[in-house]
């Protein structure tokens, strides 16, 4: 799975002009299931993000993780993270998991974070969404379970 994790002061996702998910201090997580991913992959990614030390401690250093801060997460499906731009100018997305599998793993990932005690809201799989955020830092981290 691939994820783009952004530390945020706030984030919101709208569908058809209506807010369907939001969070305050915490993380906006754009996530994409890739071909070959499974529930164990989703679980491992959730654990990694939960323990990722990207929040400031009292000295201003990035030493705290979501598990330490009590922050929330807004999880949004983002199949374009599978973009292959090696050839030509139009990205290919054939390495993304098929839609039904992608949705299943996206929902499993969100639930895995909830099971860790994180307050999680989500976007709507496959919908045209408007994502609003106030990036904190800015801190943006790229994670790919295939590369460790």
Over residues 40-49, the pLDDT tens digits come to: 999 999 999 9
Which residues touch 95 (CB under 8 Å, ≥6 apart)?
34, 35, 82, 84
Domain, as residue range, for 71: 2-85+93-147
Q: Percent of the chain beyond pLDDT 70?
A: 99
The CATH number of the domain holding residue 14 is: 3.50.80.10
d(CA 13, CA 1): 21
Domain count, the chain: 1
> What is the pLDDT averaged over residues 72-84?
97
Query: Is the predicted pLDDT of residue 148 greater than 70, yes or no?
Result: no
Write down the pLDDT at residue 147: 81
Are residues 72 and 119 in contact, defined by beta-carbon separation less than 8 angstroms?
yes
pLDDT on residue 74? 98
Active site residues: 78-80
Q: Tell me the pLDDT tens digit for each residue of 81-123.
A: 999 999 999 999 999 999 999 999 999 999 999 999 999 999 9
């Amino acid at each position: 799975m691939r994820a783009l994790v952004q530390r945020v002061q706030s984030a919101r996702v709208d569908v058809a002009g209506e807010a369907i998910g939001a969070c305050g201090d915490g993380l906006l997580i754009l996530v994409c299931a890739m071909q070959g991913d499974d529930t164990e992959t989703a679980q491992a990614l959730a654990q990694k993000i939960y323990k990722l030390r990207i929040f400031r401690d009292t000295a201003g250093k990035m030493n705290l993780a979501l598990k330490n801060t009590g922050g929330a997460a807004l999880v949004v499906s983002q199949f374009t993270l599978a973009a292959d731009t090696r050839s030509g100018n139009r990205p290919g997305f054939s390495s993304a998991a098929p839609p039904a599998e992608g949705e299943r793993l996206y929902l499993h990932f969100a639930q895995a974070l909830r099971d860790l005690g994180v307050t999680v809201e989500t976007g709507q799989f496959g919908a045209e969404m408007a994502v609003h955020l106030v990036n904190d830092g800015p801190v943006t981290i790229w994670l790919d379970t295939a590369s460790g």
